[in-house]
Structure 1
């Protein structure tokens, strides 16, 4: 029996992107926050916004917005956008599911003269806009990425099958020579991917980072930091050791620095504090790169697309901005909020033991996917 169209629902993350955009149209001034999302004394002041093919210009003296869409010009009051944002937030917080044909959402899409619930994400930016610099007559045109804590945690890095894999060689008591029957016995058991990693690491096996097979990901990580692949691999391995799927990357960094198992950690400083500062700096640069332009599938040119920063929607619907100009705050937020996701093993083709035909060793892969969720 076919599913009735009215029963189809909208993704809450996408709806909350619409909420953030309409909220900005209504309020124009968005508070700047620090790495713990605590407001500072500054605001981001928007003069205009562009989302997809539509452009929105704030008319300062009239409390109205000029909308340019499909060759037509129209005007709408900011109060209408403020009321619209409130309606969307009520739906986000008050409903388990938002229907595809929800009349309020359709009305608000009509209000902004758009058919799209969220604009196509182009090079990490969800929209761009002209922003006034406080205390100056100068303005900048910047790109922004919306990250919402309403609904499923937003992604920073999306897995993409072979393009986002990290390859590890399986060792037994420090040796790559492993009895085939022992491997087959493990393969015969029913493990989920986390259980398989845990079983190996708690039964005399170890995992040694081998390579990043995806050329674009390897290039991008090395571009940001020459030790990028090795450091990310060590963090992925530490997550597998701990068996804590949502452990924050900042905590994983503390763990690998304290354990100091890998020689690359030892060479990054003469003390725990120095090594910790080095690893935090390097990993925050990688996370920042994947925030502003880098992906796992395309070699990056190093140019930032989401050059303005994050628009963050908190769980209770507050809209705030982490400016890239306040780099320390953005990096603190990423380190304390990001964690490695475990994507589908069938969809992304990883999480099982396989032989390396070239040298007879056994290998297993991990996937590089990162989500954001504040504590």
Structure 2
């Protein structure tokens, strides 16, 4: 049966083929430029298929050898074939139109031969691919997990919206029922904020989800308020780029902006490598290797955790806040508690710009 997926999901298979074909994974600067002197030699890729054992895709100078958990050889294919198949798959992914799921039947036989029966390996973590590298600087051969982001499809999310990512603001002065009704009929949270603030003020009160609040405070004790203030400004000023928002919309001196920027970068890295809003987080990275980016050129570059500063800058420059569905995630409407206090929720979602 043909596998079916969107451009991002097919990109994970492309990354597997490409990293084995290239034999090296290059580091990048904050602007996705390959650093020629910074690379990691690929020893093998480890993949778990659903209801099947681990497969190890081992690379030598000539072949890719697939072995099972007992190190028994199952298949041997030339590196040249992996190079050709990676190039062909890249072309097919580029030709996919729309954002839906698509099959690429010409790859059915090859993928079945190399033991790939699903586009996404089963995982409960942030990682998408597991690679053993040879670190030429230390001589170590660690097994690392990487998250994959593709520029071939629609921009992916870094932190997904849910009811857990709601940020609760309290109206400092109550509004009349008639005014609340008019405001709730507006469509944009930003327009609602402006209307509320004609006769009241919004003050951040708490995160709707206690686990999310705890996870944010693991990063910094003031992070819930920092992120709430930024989401508020993004909506009010329609300034969604995180980098631009901090540069242009914060009414703070440069020292304070520098502190906020540092903390926001910590949040972005944490969200990219391990922290999920509704799951209690222990502060550790789950994607222990870092990030692999599939560029529009077909090249792969990575942000290894050894080069964490470049990863921070890349995420900071290339992400934005956005609003998901107000009705689905229950935000953007004035409501009351049992004591008559009035509240207004905003919601956090972070997406890559491209």
Same structural fold, with TM-score higher than 0.5 when normalized by the shorter chain = yes
Shift of 1:235: 0.8
Shift of 1:337: 0.8
Q: How does 1:1-375 map to 2 (within 5 A)?
A: 10-40=5-35, 41-53=37-49, 54-68=54-68, 73-97=74-98, 100-161=102-163, 163-170=164-171, 175-187=172-184, 189-201=185-197, 203-244=198-239, 247-257=240-250, 259-260=251-252, 272-358=253-339, 360-374=340-354
Shift of 1:136: 3.9
Are the aligned partners of 1:224 and 1:286 in contact in 2 as well (CA < 8 Å)?
Answer: yes
Root mean square deviation of aligned Cα: 2.4
Shift of 1:357: 2.2
- What are structure 1's unaligned runs of at least 5 residues? 261-271
Q: Which moved more, 1:294-303 or 1:99-108?
A: 99-108
Counterpart-to-counterpart distance in 1, 2:213 and 2:138 = 42
* 1:226-265 Cα shifts (integer Å, max 9, x gaps): 1110111011011011124xx22111122343x13xxxxx
Counterpart-to-counterpart distance in 1, 2:318 and 2:286 = 21
Are the aligned partners of 2:273 and 2:287 in contact in 1 as well (CA < 8 Å)?
Answer: yes
Are the aligned partners of 1:221 and 1:228 in contact in 2 as well (CA < 8 Å)?
Answer: yes
Are the aligned partners of 1:166 and 1:365 in contact in 2 as well (CA < 8 Å)?
Answer: yes
Q: Which moved more, 1:203-212 or 1:315-324?
A: 203-212
Counting matched residue pairs gives 347
Shift of 1:69: 7.8
Shift of 1:29: 0.6
Cα distance, 1:200–1:302 mapped onto 2, change above 3 Å: same
Are the aligned partners of 2:26 and 2:34 in contact in 1 as well (CA < 8 Å)?
Answer: yes
Counterpart-to-counterpart distance in 1, 2:6 and 2:59 = 32
Cα distance, 1:331–1:250 mapped onto 2, change above 3 Å: same
Counterpart-to-counterpart distance in 2, 1:313 and 1:195 = 37
Shift of 1:373: 2.7
Q: Which moved more, 1:300-309 or 1:360-369?
A: 360-369
Q: Which moved more, 1:115-124 or 1:302-311?
A: 115-124
Counterpart-to-counterpart distance in 2, 1:108 and 1:176 = 65
* 1:307-350 Cα shifts (integer Å, max 9, x gaps): 11100012332211111111110000111111113112232222
Are the aligned partners of 1:68 and 1:74 in contact in 2 as well (CA < 8 Å)?
Answer: no
Cα distance, 1:178–1:284 mapped onto 2, change above 3 Å: same
* 1:139-194 Cα shifts (integer Å, max 9, x gaps): 11211000111111112111222x12111123xxxx4232222212323x342445
Are the aligned partners of 2:62 and 2:79 in contact in 1 as well (CA < 8 Å)?
Answer: no
Cα distance, 1:10–1:66 mapped onto 2, change above 3 Å: closer
Are the aligned partners of 2:55 and 2:67 in contact in 1 as well (CA < 8 Å)?
Answer: yes
**2:244 aligned counterpart, secondary structure:** helix
